[in-house]
Structure 1
Amino acid sequence: MTNPIETTMYDISQFFLYPVLLAIAALFVHAFYALGAFAWQAWQRAQGKPAGFELHAVRRADPYLDLVALESLAVKRLEFARIATRVAPMLGLVATMIPMGPALKALADGALQDVSRSLMVAFSAVILALLSAAISFTVVNVRKRWYSVDLAAIEAEWMAAAHSAPKAPPAAAVTPIQKQEAAA
């Protein structure tokens, strides 16, 4: 590498190896944390425990939340795991490519032990990244289905309440503004 631009780009790329590896390790740990929380919630749902039905619990705590607020809450709760699902494979690719530079350089110098070490880091990082993405993807998709089912059930409850008392909206459908106006 005689060109200063190439040397600078190589040096910058090598600088990012450890932050990328740390990010992959954090996503891997998070994936197993999310898997544990998911398994616990699945058990609660199977047992019919109220804690397993997050949106219903939130609605009970604040009956004035409407469907849009509950949908926003569901999206917010899935957001980090959805991002992790997409970012982990990208970081795995980056962590694969960064050590390839030193591996190729070591190969040219005949240092096969350095080639082996660089390739070991590259392949280990991509495997952990793909595993964390697969776990996060599974958790996100099942939770998304759970939230959809829960939102449909809440909407059905509101519709049933609206049909049983057509003159007054159900208490859960009253917005905080309507509540304040009624109190005034």
Structure 2
Amino acid sequence: MDFFADIEHLLYAVSRIFLMPVLFLIVLSLLYAVGMLGAFLVEGWQRRRQGGADRLVKQTRDYLRRQTISSGDLELYILKQLEWLRVVSRTAPMLGLIATMIPMGPALLALGNGDATEVGKNMVAAFSAVILALLAASLCFFILTIRRRWLLQDLHRAERTLLLQEESA
């Protein structure tokens, strides 16, 4: 029986090691989401003032440093632009779950010992982390959805423009 208790203690100690890095990643995710929200609002304002298809072609050319580009190049550029939004929107909830579950062990132990203060302290950390992670994921998912539509509309227009340029040449 001591062997299993030792394994439980080892697992608990290892999981506690990951709490701080997970909390740090949640904070980074939230900061990234807020930064992307600002960039999203600026991009939305710019899109109201000017067309996006020409801008997509120009940005892709600048990125690839080539004069001629194909629609495949445009698609890859769009995927690159949306990559981190997608990663954060999918991983932040998992990080929130990890950050919730790690403090639950000590909270349950404290509950068994009748220490309400320790239970509260652990539960606040657990639920705060999951709330911030879900907020970051929600913001990134919202921005990802709208930006994907914008960029696909730009891609559609740019493909028509590239096709017309090829036909006239």
Indicate the structure with greater helix content: 2
Conservation of the 8 A alpha-carbon contact between 2:40 and 2:143: yes
Report the counterpart of residue 105 of structure 2 in structure 1. Answer: 101
Query: Once the 2 structures are TM-superposed, how far is the Cα of residue 43 of structure 1 from its aligned partner?
Result: 0.4
CA distance in 1, matches of 2:60, 2:92: 33
Conservation of the 8 A alpha-carbon contact between 2:30 and 2:132: yes
Gaps of 5+ in 2: none
CA distance in 2, matches of 1:76, 1:59: 11
Q: Against the structure 1 CA distance between its residues 115 and 57, is the aligned structure 2 distance closer, same or farther, given a 3 Å change threshold?
A: same
Post-superposition Cα deviations, 1:122-181, rounded to whole Å, max 9, x if no partner, equal 11000000000000001111111111111111111122223334xxxxxxxxxxxxxxxx
Query: Once the 2 structures are TM-superposed, how far is the Cα of residue 60 of structure 1 from its aligned partner?
Result: 5.8
Conservation of the 8 A alpha-carbon contact between 1:20 and 1:94: yes
Report the counterpart of residue 56 of structure 1 in structure 2. Answer: 57
TM superposition score normalised by structure 1 = 0.83
Conservation of the 8 A alpha-carbon contact between 1:82 and 1:140: yes
CA distance in 2, matches of 1:60, 1:4: 59
CA distance in 1, matches of 2:32, 2:38: 10
- SS in structure 1 at match of 2:69: coil
- RMSD of equivalent CA atoms: 1.9
Structure with more relative contact order (C-alpha pairs < 8 Å, separation 6 or more): 2
Which of 150, 153, 156 is the matching residue for 2:154? 150
CA distance in 1, matches of 2:74, 2:105: 48
Report the counterpart of residue 73 of structure 2 in structure 1. Answer: 69
Q: Against the structure 1 CA distance between its residues 79 and 59, is the aligned structure 2 distance closer, same or farther, given a 3 Å change threshold?
A: closer
Q: Against the structure 1 CA distance between its residues 83 and 104, is the aligned structure 2 distance closer, same or farther, given a 3 Å change threshold?
A: same
The reply to whether residue 116 of structure 1 matches residue 117 of structure 2 is no
Report the counterpart of residue 7 of structure 2 in structure 1. Answer: 5
Conservation of the 8 A alpha-carbon contact between 2:26 and 2:129: yes
Post-superposition Cα deviations, 1:101-133, rounded to whole Å, max 9, x if no partner, equal 000111111111000000000110000000000
TM superposition score normalised by structure 2 = 0.90
- The percent identity for this pair of structures is 41
CA distance in 2, matches of 1:148, 1:12: 44
Conservation of the 8 A alpha-carbon contact between 2:60 and 2:73: no
Conservation of the 8 A alpha-carbon contact between 1:45 and 1:53: no
- SS in structure 2 at match of 1:108: helix
